[in-house]
Structure 1
Amino acid sequence: MVIEVIAISLTDAKAAQQAGADRIELVAAIAEGGLTPSYAMIESVCGEVTIPVNVMIRPHSRSFFYDENDIQVMLKDIQICKQLGASGIVIGALTEEYAIDEHTLQRLIAAADGLDITFHRAFDEVKDQSKALETLMAYKEISRVLTSGGKNKVLDAVNEIQALEQQASHSHIQIMPGSGLTPTTLPSFITQIHVSEFHFGSGVRHQASFDHCIDANKIRDIRDIMLFRA
């Protein structure tokens, strides 16, 4: 099973790797839900860790609706991520009707040109998650959907995650639960959900806060939990 950990610094990324994380989601401005990090940050992290680094591509935090100016920035950011050695990108775009913005999505996918792609928690704002997932499953380039099942915390969305998991089970897309998972909450959650990738943010930090650094022991505990389940 895959443990993905949010990193907001090079120190985070190195600590997560050393503790046993399988993949980094690299972001800036986590208090705003995560924005694209600086090019220097991307280059430093990709140059100093060996596990995959997927970079958030999000130009602002106002919404997940993007105009042409926003899209041009996102396309350039994706190009730079490729040049700096990122393994993948983390993207999402919605229409003002809160459905998947396929026009924008297609342009971002084309720019990715082989990079690993995660569709991020913009998915949790769509009006119809089943319909949205059906749309995303048409794109073979998208590896996974990060979601809390439309709830604030994924622990409150077990039924929703199960439904999405079932819907995606015969496709190439992985459902990756995130938001609220910790070494304490994971054991009961993992018995109800049969996915292979999990996303961790504040739950693997000291005092469960992005104001504090990564707690390597929490990542090790999560690894042990997953090994026991396997």
Structure 2
Amino acid sequence: MLKEFCAENYTDLPQAIAKGANRIELCDNLAVGGTTPSTGVIEEALSYTGEKGVTVMTMIRPRGGDFIYTDIELKIMHTDLIEAKKLGTDGVVFGCLTPSNWLDEEALEMLIDNAEGLQITFHMAFDAIAKERQFEAIDWLAERGVTRILTHGGPSGTPIADNYDHLKALIAHANERIIILPGGGITFENAQEVVDTLGVTEVHGTKIVPLDSL
């Protein structure tokens, strides 16, 4: 089981790796769902994880709130992505939507092009897409080489178990063309059940490993 620990800055990163996290999603501002960490944080995190053989996925998100971005915000995301790439991040995490909650195809194609050579995770903006269109979104992202989609499979705050049926449908549709990464409400206590129920090999969360601070 690959346990992706969602880390706010550097603070809990060494302990999380010691407790079994084998991939890091690196963010700032988890109170708003995660934004782009600073260059200094990315640099130190990569230095530490590099010694431990752990990969880092860097969040590229200019602010909290929705996933509908202005041209200026997209320019910021472009610059942040290029900087994270220069620093040596293994992958990037982003998501852009239109006001009708469909994929912002133009913005995404720009970011995907700039992320060439990196793993790409499309984050939980996916859950804002209408359920019946999520299968179409999987096709679009898979065709453009996106590595994985992070999804709760249902409304934020619902127990992950309530969303098993929809997650199973998404996984079946993805058909190994793209990884469906379950997240939201997954902890070290229920991660094995999630893996066994869904047949996935990767899980994501802030409590995916037991930290002393929790």
Give the TM-score taking structure 1 as reference length. Answer: 0.85
- Residues 111 and 185 (structure 1), Cα distance of their counterparts in 2 relative to 1, 3 Å cut: same
Distance in 1, Cα, partners of 2:194 & 2:44: 35
Tell me what 2:106 maps to. 103
Secondary structure (helix, strand or coil) at the match of 1:49 reads helix
Query: Does 2:172 correspond to 1:163?
Result: no
Partners of 2:4 and 2:208 within 8 A in 1: no
Deviation at 1:62, TM superposition (A): 2.6
- Residues 22 and 204 (structure 1), Cα distance of their counterparts in 2 relative to 1, 3 Å cut: closer
Secondary structure (helix, strand or coil) at the match of 2:62 reads coil
Tell me what 1:63 maps to. 66
- Residues 30 and 170 (structure 1), Cα distance of their counterparts in 2 relative to 1, 3 Å cut: closer
Partners of 1:42 and 1:81 within 8 A in 2: yes
Cα RMSD for the two superposed structures: 1.6
Cα shift readout 1:17-58 (whole Å, capped 9, x = no counterpart):
222211100000000011001111111111111211111000
**How many residues in Structure 1 have an aligned counterpart in Structure 2?**
207
Deviation at 1:135, TM superposition (A): 1.7
Q: Work out which structure has the larger RCO, using CA pairs closer than 8 Å and 6 or more positions apart in sequence.
A: 2
Tell me what 2:187 maps to. 182
Provide structure 1 residue ranges, at least 5 long, that are not aligned to the other structure: 207-211, 216-230
Tell me what 1:16 maps to. 16
The runs of at least 4 consecutive aligned structure 1 residues that moved more than 3 Å come to: 202-206
Secondary structure (helix, strand or coil) at the match of 1:198 reads strand
Give the TM-score taking structure 2 as reference length. Answer: 0.91
Partners of 2:195 and 2:203 within 8 A in 1: no
Distance in 2, Cα, partners of 1:10 & 1:16: 10
Letter in 1 for 2:136: K
User: What pairs with 1:6-155 in structure 2 (closer than 5 Å)?
Assistant: 6-50=6-50, 51-127=54-130, 128-140=133-145, 142-152=146-156, 153=158, 154-155=160-161
Distance in 2, Cα, partners of 1:202 & 1:170: 26
Distance in 2, Cα, partners of 1:5 & 1:203: 6
Deviation at 1:193, TM superposition (A): 0.4
Deviation at 1:5, TM superposition (A): 0.3
Deviation at 1:105, TM superposition (A): 0.5
Letter in 2 for 1:47: S
Partners of 1:155 and 1:181 within 8 A in 2: no
Distance in 2, Cα, partners of 1:179 & 1:205: 16
Distance in 2, Cα, partners of 1:170 & 1:63: 29
- Residues 122 and 130 (structure 1), Cα distance of their counterparts in 2 relative to 1, 3 Å cut: same
Tell me what 2:3 maps to. 3
Distance in 2, Cα, partners of 1:49 & 1:203: 17
Letter in 1 for 2:206: G
Letter in 2 for 1:158: Y
Partners of 1:162 and 1:193 within 8 A in 2: yes
Partners of 1:180 and 1:203 within 8 A in 2: no
Deviation at 1:12, TM superposition (A): 1.5
Letter in 1 for 2:197: Q
